[in-house]
Amino acid sequence: MSLTLYNTLTRSKQPFEPIDPERIAMYVCGPTVYNRVHIGNARPAVVFDTLYRVLNTLYPKVEYARNITDIDDKIMKTAAELGEDISALSTRYAQAYFDDMAALNNLSPTIVPYATQHIPEMIDMVTRLIEKGHAYNIDNGVEGEQGHVLFAVQSMSDYGALSGRSLDDMLAGARVEVASYKKYAGDFVLWKPSADNEPGWDSPWGRGRPGWHLECSAMIEKHLGDTIDIHGGGQDLIFPHHENEIAQSCCAHDGKPFANVWMHNGFINIEGEKMSKSLGNFRMVNDLLEQYPGEVLRYVILSAHYRSEQNFGKDLLDSAWRSLDTLYGFLRTHNDIEAASVDISDSDAYIALLDDLNTPMAISELHKLAREMHSAEGDNLPLAKGRLLANAGLMGLLQQDPEQWFTLSRGSDDISAEDVEALIAKRNQAKTDKDYAGADAVREELKSLGVVLEDSREGTKWRRG
Ligand SMILES: [Zn+2]
């Protein structure tokens, strides 16, 4: 069984050929930590987590790095506005990001490098780029210009190969900072000077801080090597960020390829509209998590193919929740059956995932497997359940206790799980006291709050109806 991936670099789907089958290296650009993340930021995390799970079924070791950008002008600006220490702010939002991603059932990457912990590696890479004639520093004594180091894009013959556009086209379509000290308008910053009140590190070009693109190149070189198997991110990163990562790394390594496969996920739109500041329609993950279980968000993200533009909205979230209710409902019915361990290598869901992560197809296969489990009998039941759970696990779905699933809050007005448990205890006491009318009253009260009780030998179970 072989994996096929769409490569942005070649604009085609091709069989995945690892550099070293004993060790796969994958890097995904992580967040700049100065605020909570929105659902568009969650999409690459979920998509590449799914790819990570699939790669783990094929290869003995997968090194998956996703960085934290903890030095950036946006972080500095936000910290100044809040009167908060920069590292305190970035630590707080890095943790918030980890929490949000864990709530969406994402596994932790194997490596989480922080930009500020790799400054010597970045300075070293800039030094090599200058030596090789791909970068230049501004040493004109002019305040605000002095101490910049820029990458000379014209020194690289195939700059722009990823986006497939000419330099002039790229410059016309992007907001490029025009500065008189640049030799060419498309040259980008590797290192920039820091004012006394700004964070900075000593370097051969004076006290300063790294440019954003440099961070990923230096961290990849350190943790994964000169050439990696897969580099991923959102499609908004293709230019300039990924073009510039390629320029830095290829030129620092004398033309060696940087990443063999480039993968980019599409945008998420909200109720048919692009997320934008002017529309104020950003959907923050932590806000959504107050209304929906993380697994519902994950299911929605995976219900579209990662390369397509995805619409996101209430109807989709509600229908994803109903779909998961159906799947968990089947599992709940068979909760006492132990799932058998199964070989999934020829399952249709797995085959769909191997085909450039066709998650919509794989999800529809899950529903088929759930129905098969529901109609299975006897010895077939543990196998059918094993197949459903193993295939769902490839996408990080259906791994919760089904009983637990039906106790998850369905909205902010819901009675809390603790209050339900307290009322059940009150009802049990009434029954012990032979106050059957009182016990029934509690059951009715819970019913009016949307909670259904089921008495069994093991005690009273409950779920939101
Ligand atoms: Zn990056």
Please report, for residues 106, 185, 237, the alpha-carbon distance to residue 100 in angstroms, rounded to integers and kept in the order given. 9, 38, 21
Last residue of a domain, one of 268, 300, 317: 268
The answer as to whether 284 is a domain residue is no
Residues 385 and 431 in one domain: no
353 and 460 assigned to the same domain? no
Residue 175 has pLDDT above 70, yes or no: no
Q: Final residue of a domain: which of 221, 236, 268?
A: 268
pLDDT in tens, 380-408: 999 999 999 999 999 999 999 999 999 98
CATH at residue 188: 3.40.50.620
Per-residue pLDDT reduced to its tens digit, 96-146: 999 999 999 999 999 999 999 999 999 999 999 999 999 999 999 998 899
- Structural domain contains residue 211: yes
Ligand 1 centroid to Cα of residue 209, in Å, is: 16
Using pLDDT thresholds of 50, 70 and 90, give the confidence band for residue 260: very high
Q: Is residue 313 part of a domain?
A: no
In a domain, 411, yes or no: no
Domain assignment of residue 277, yes or no: no
At 3-51, the pLDDT tens digits run 999 999 999 999 999 999 999 999 999 999 999 999 999 999 999 999 9
Final residue in a domain of this structure, among 401, 430, 447: 401
Q: What is the tens place of the pLDDT at every residue in 270-326?
A: 988 998 888 888 999 999 999 999 999 999 999 999 999 999 999 999 999 999 999
Which residue reads 């002019």 in tokens? 142
Report the relative pairing of strands 451-456 and 310-312 from DSSP bridges.
Answer: unpaired
Query: Are 421 and 362 part of one and the same domain?
Result: no
Burial of 226 (0-12, 13-18, 19+ CB in 10 A): middle
Identify whether 223 is part of a domain.
yes
Judge whether 261 and 230 are in contact, CB under 8 Å. yes
Are 244 and 367 in a shared domain? no
Q: Supply φ then ψ for residue 449, to 5 degrees.
A: -95, 10
Which residues touch 195 (CB under 8 Å, ≥6 apart)? none
Gap from CA of 216 to ligand 1 centroid (Å): 5
Domain that holds residue 422: 417-464
CA of 224 to the centre of ligand 1 (A): 14
Number of domains in the chain: 3
How many whole angstroms from 227 Cα to the centroid of ligand 1? Answer: 15
- Cα of 279 from ligand 1 centre, angstroms: 27
Domain presence at residue 452: yes
Q: Which residues lie near ion ligand 1 (Cβ < 5 Å)?
A: 29, 216
Say yes or no: 201 and 262 in one domain: yes
CA distances to 216, 425, 451, 457 from 440, in Å: 62, 13, 14, 19
Residue 290 domain flag? no
